[in-house]
Amino acid sequence: MKKLLLPPMSLYLLPLFLQIATLLSAPIYTPVEDITINCGSSGTSPNIYDNQNWTGDINSKFSPIELHQDNTNTSSQVREAPPSSVSQVPYTTARLSLSEFSYKVPLSIGQKFIRLYFHPVSYDPSFDRSKTLFSVRAGGFTLLHDFNASVTADASETETLIREFCLNIDDGHSLTITFTPSRAIPDAYAFVNGIEIVSMPTNLYYTASESHGVDYVGNEVNYRIENITAMEMVYRINVGGSALSFDQDTGMYRNWGSVVDEQKYLDDLSSRWTVLPQNVSLQLNFVKIPEYSAPQVVYQTGRSMGSNHTRNKSYKLTWEFPVDPKFLYLLRLHFCEFEPEIMDPGDRSFLIYVENQLAEPQADIIVWSGGNGRPVYRDYVVFMPAGPDQKKVKLFLALQANPRDWMTAYNDVLLNGLELFKLSDTNGNLAGPNPDPPPPKPMQPKTPSKESKKKSTPMLATVAGAVSAILVLFCVLGFLVFRRRRRSKDTDDDSFLLSGLCREFSLSEIKAAPKNFN
């Protein structure tokens, strides 16, 4: 183990280092099963961002089962992706097939995350990206139907797609995931780059048998999310905060979208309000919910109506999430009061509307959680009816300050995090239609304007220099801590770990992080 040598001048930064060390401490939840399959490759390949070894599906226990095993023309094939900006595991190789293939993964009983990774490019002339059209079934559920990965990626302006599902394994032996090319067009093929299966804490999202169920918006009775339901994660956002990639989650490798993602779903007026700055010195106290529910940062950032608490009381902070119609959705709202002036019940009471229906006439986070700095979440199930056409409909979430002054000290609202899941219908289907292709883009100017950047004053440059120097220091320290806590203590390639930790996200990656939905 390397020794940590700090130059004396950085000693005054020690408290900060310790803080970062706490942030990077061991994951809060350790999944029993943590399976990563790198489709179309052999041996094991380290993923530079999560330092997991992805197991190839060639000549391994994860080799797929094929419908037409003996016919070399129809059996699945493996390909390397053409060179592109997406160079990391599992996106560099794929398994592609004109006929059906399945992965049979041995698993224990329990609720799992299933994540499918897609990189839709033309792998070669026989696998043109416009011909990808396929369905995916698993455990009796239709996860995707006639899925066009290419148009889905184009519509979300990303190169890669991750689809995350939750399902319960109850037979205790295995899960079979089947990829079937569509019959809608000739020469349609199915493909996949990576499969990840991670066990989740029991009843993190499902309803426990002793629980009385989830608020069913617009209904008198509560709703129970039973084990016979599958779910697809459609939005997961660190409201008002930064993007959290899977190595910053509590151990389940969930991606959390940032304020940049969130802005896209705020209505015009709402996006004007500023976000609350993170208070890192706030010690969170998990008394109402397990610590693995969401990363701490989710609860240390948020969005409110701003510092002017006398603002228009009838105004509603509103998000609009495009979703597939004719499905039930589970909406989880994460809350934590972290402003020092909000300490007691009645300090900030507000109204929550889900899909234009009053879901909470008197939301009071302090009442729910028992105090400042105590995270809590609330779940709502809502049905989304069809719109005028079969396209996406908008799920509205609106928070309104309590207009009755005598009920609240501050006329304000707060939201810290949000997760939205689509629930499988009675036929076990989760699939929705493909998105429309994006409108053709006007020609971009050849060189992005660098002039504005050059104009920055020397003062700014100095500050930036100092900040980046400190960041580098943090990265080095973070790396050392990181190295200690990873379950794989034995890898020797330092440089890739470093780059993984101090990674910069491109806009498209930031956009891709939470959803990869249409």
Ligand X SMILES: *[C@@H]1O[C@H](CO)[C@@H](O)[C@H](O)[C@H]1NC(C)=O
Q: Which positions from 349 through 368 interact with ligand X, judged by CB under 6 A?
A: none
- Whichever of 384 and 411 has its CB closer to ligand X, that residue is 411
CB of 315 to ligand X, least distance (A): 6
What 3-state class would DSSP assign to 233? strand
Using alpha carbons, select from 237, 113, 134, 150 the residue that is nearest to residue 189. Answer: 134
Burial class (CB in 10 A: 0-12, 13-18, 19+), 4: exposed
Applying CB under 6 A, the site for ligand X has a residue count of 36
- With CB under 6 A as the contact rule, which of the stretches 237-245, 274-282, 288-296, 384-392 interacts with ligand X? 274-282
What one-character DSSP code corresponds to residue 501?
A: H
Q: Does 186 bind ligand X (CB under 6 A)?
A: no
Q: Are strands 34-38 and 53-56 parallel, antiparallel or unpaired?
A: parallel
- Whichever of 213 and 218 has its CB closer to ligand X, that residue is 213
What 3-state class would DSSP assign to 121? coil
Q: Does 168 bind ligand X (CB under 6 A)?
A: yes
Q: Does 262 bind ligand X (CB under 6 A)?
A: no
Q: Does 491 bind ligand X (CB under 6 A)?
A: yes
Q: Does 19 bind ligand X (CB under 6 A)?
A: no
Q: Considering only residues 13, 21, 275, 282, which one is a binding residue for ligand X as defined by CB under 6 A?
A: 282
- Whichever of 218 and 403 has its CB closer to ligand X, that residue is 403
Q: Does 108 bind ligand X (CB under 6 A)?
A: no
Using alpha carbons only, give the angle 408, 410, 414 rounded to the nearest 5 degrees.
Answer: 100
Q: Which positions from 43 through 102 interact with ligand X, judged by CB under 6 A?
A: 44, 46, 53, 71-73
Q: Considering only residues 24, 133, 200, 395, which one is a binding residue for ligand X as defined by CB under 6 A?
A: 133
Sheet holding 134-138, edge to edge: 65-66, 101-106, 174-181, 134-138, 141-147
What one-character DSSP code corresponds to residue 217?
A: T
- Whichever of 24 and 133 has its CB closer to ligand X, that residue is 133
> How many Cβ atoms from other residues are within 10 Å of residue 295's Cβ?
21
Q: Does 302 bind ligand X (CB under 6 A)?
A: no
List the beta bridge partners of residue 77: 96
Residue closest to ligand X (Cβ): 488
Q: Considering only residues 55, 99, 148, 193, which one is a binding residue for ligand X as defined by CB under 6 A?
A: 148
List the beta bridge partners of residue 394: 322
Q: Considering only residues 314, 444, 457, 495, which one is a binding residue for ligand X as defined by CB under 6 A?
A: 314
Q: Which amino acid is at 103?
A: Y
Q: Does 126 bind ligand X (CB under 6 A)?
A: no
Q: Does 4 bind ligand X (CB under 6 A)?
A: no
Q: Does 452 bind ligand X (CB under 6 A)?
A: no
Q: Does 340 bind ligand X (CB under 6 A)?
A: yes
CB of 428 to ligand X, least distance (A): 16
Q: Does 437 bind ligand X (CB under 6 A)?
A: yes
Using alpha carbons, select from 283, 398, 289, 295 the residue that is nearest to residue 351. Answer: 398
CB of 228 to ligand X, least distance (A): 9
Q: Does 404 bind ligand X (CB under 6 A)?
A: no
Q: Does 150 bind ligand X (CB under 6 A)?
A: yes
Please report the sign of the dihedral spanned by the C-alpha atoms of residue 104, residue 110, residue 111, residue 115. Answer: negative
Distance, in Å, from the CA atom of 234 to the CA atom of 58, rounded to the nearest integer, reads 31
Burial class (CB in 10 A: 0-12, 13-18, 19+), 218: middle
Q: Which residues have C-beta within 8 Å of that of residue 107, sequence separation ≥ 6?
A: 33, 35, 169, 172, 173, 174, 175, 197
- Whichever of 257 and 302 has its CB closer to ligand X, that residue is 302
**Which residues are at the interface with ligand X (CB under 6 A)?**
44, 46, 53, 71-73, 109-111, 130, 133, 148, 150-151, 154, 168, 185, 202, 209, 227, 279, 281-282, 308, 310-312, 314-315, 339-340, 373, 437, 488, 490-491
